[in-house]
Amino acid sequence: MKTLAALALIPIALATSVSAQTTATRVTKVARTATTPEDLYGPLYRAVELARVFPDSKTFADMIPRDPPSAILTAYRAENPQGRTALVAFVARHFRTASETAQRKLVMRDHIKALWPVLAKPPMAVPTGSSLIPLPQAYVVAGGRYQEMYYWDSYFTMLGLKADGETALIESMLANFVSLVERYGHVPNGTRTYYLSRSQPPFLALMMDLSTVRDPATDARRLAALKAEHAYWMAGTTCIDATGACQHVVRMPDGSLLNRYWDARDTPRDESYAEDVATTAAAGRPVNRDLRAGAESGWDYSSRWLRDGRTLATIHTLDIVPVDLNSLLWTLETAIARRCTAAGDTACAADYASRAAARKVAIAKYLWSAAERRFVDWDRSTRRPTPSVSAAMLYPLFSGLATPDQATATANLVKTRLLGTGGLRTTTVRTGQQWDEPNGWAPLVWIAVGGLDRYGKTALADRVARRWIATVSGFYACTGRMVEKYDVESGKAGGGGEYPVQDGFGWTNGVTRALLDRPAVADAEATTCANPARATTKPK
C-alpha cells in the first residue's frame, strides 16, 4: 500500500542565519547557470513547442533524450523535419517520457506487482457532500476513471493479489465488503452513493474462498454477510405480481424461481446522466431501469440486452433471465450450505442445499437449449432463449453446474465462435458496444479458463490463456500500459462504450498475473514489441 512522502522541514535557525541578500544572490546565480530544455535544444525545442506536437507544453519539457543532446541536434539539422507530422516522428525516435522509461525497465510480471501500491488506497475520511462511501480498511481500485472500489472487479483483482502474496490487501478488502453488506444489506455496484440502488454479479462467496483466515468469529460474520446478500437478491419473492417478476426475482412458466438484473431506481444514472437522457429520448419509452440493470450486470452494454441485438435504444434488460447471474447465485447457495455445514447448522445447510438444487433444475430447463446445444439467456417477453451467443455461456462450467455433455458442447462452440486470434470474444456481433465483438475482457477469460479446466478441457483452456497473455503482453511491450479491455482481433486496446479505454487496470492485472503461473503460457509472453501498430493507441 502506498505511503505518504514525509515533508522535509528546514530548521528555523539555519533559515534565519542566511541574509536575504545572500539568498537572493544564490538564487540569481543558480537561475543563470541552469540549462533549460530550450537552452539545450534551441531551434528543435522551439519548433516542437510552436508546432503543438503535444497538447501540453510541459510534456516535451520533461522528456528524456534517447541519445546525447549533441547527437540529437546534429540529426535535427541534417534531417530538417518540417511540419507537425515530421516533428512527431523525429521526437518519437529521439525522446521518451519518464513514465515510459520506468515502465519498460520491468517485465510485465514485475510491472503488475509494482502497480498494486499505486492502485491501493488507504481508508480515508469522506468530505461532506462527497459521493464516496467510506470504507474501514485499505482497498484496491481499478485505475483510470475508477477511483473507488467496485464489486465484481475486485474478485479478479484479488486473483493477482493472491499470486503476488498480497494477502493483507485481500483480507482488508473482504472486511470492507462485509462492512458494506452489514451497512446496506448488499454489496453496491461500487463505493459511491449513486451505486447503492444496485449491486453487481455476486462474487463475494468466491472472494471469501481466496482468504486464508480461519477463525470462528470471522467465519460467522462472513456467513451472515452471505445470507444477507442472498436475501437481497431474493427479496422480490414475496411481491411477484401478474407480470411474473418483482425486483430481482422472476417466476418461470413452471413456477420455479430464477433471477434477473434490476435496479431500485428508475432515473438516469448519475455517472452517465446525459447519456441515459439521450438513450431514453431515442427509445421513446422509459428505459432508465433497463439501463441501470444493464449496469448491474457489469456488461454495460452488450447485444445480450438489446431487443434488436444492435441498438442501445432497444435495451430490455429487465426481460432477460441471464445464465451468468443464475450460475453465480447457485454458487452462492452452495457456498452458504457448505459454510452452514462447517458451522454445525444442519437446518441451514439443508435449506440452502434445497434452494441450490431447485435452481439447478430451473437452469437446466430454461437456460440450456437442447436444440442449439448451448447455454442461453431466456427472454421473458418472448418466452424463449435469446439468439445471443456470448462468453456468459461459460459460467455454468465455471460454477460446476454443467453436465459433461453440456461442457463438451460449450467447448465446441467456444472453438468455432468465440476463440479469437488474441483471446476470447465477448459475443459474436459487432455493435459498437464495449461488451461485444471484437473486445475481450480479463474476467471472461478467467471464467472460461476455469470452466474449461473444471471439465477436463485443458488444451482449449490453455489456448484461451496463451492467446490472452500474448495480447496483453504484446500491447504492454509496445506501450508500457495495461488497459481495461482489448481488441482480440487487432491486439490494440478495446473500444466502444460510453468512455475512452482506461489504463490501470485492476482486473487485467489480476487475471493476467494469475495466468502467468500457468505452465502452458510460459512461452506466450511477448517481451519485445512485434506489432508497432499497437503503440498508436493513445492513452485517454
Catalytic residue ranges = 300, 484
| Residues 60 and 72: beta-carbon distance below 8 Å | no
Q: Is the CA virtual torsion 62, 66, 68, 71 positive or negative?
A: negative
| Residues 81 and 87: beta-carbon distance below 8 Å | yes
Please give the Cα distance from 207 to 158 (Å, whole number). 8
What is the DSSP track for 63-101?
A: -EESS-HHHHHHHHHHH---SHHHHHHHHHHHEE-HHHH
Per-residue burial over 117-147, b = 16 or more CB atoms within 10 Å of its CB, e = otherwise: eebbbeeeeeeeeeebbebeebbbbbbbebe
Name the DSSP class of 201.
S
Name the DSSP class of 368.
E
Cell of 165: 502474496
Q: Is the CA virtual torsion 451, 453, 457, 462 positive or negative?
A: positive
What is the DSSP track for 295-312?
A: HHHS--S-GGGBTTSS-G
Please give the Cα distance from 455 to 461 (Å, whole number). 10
Please give the Cα distance from 379 to 356 (Å, whole number). 22
| Residues 391 and 444: beta-carbon distance below 8 Å | yes
Contacting residues for 222 by C-beta, under 8 A, at least 6 apart:
174, 178, 208, 339
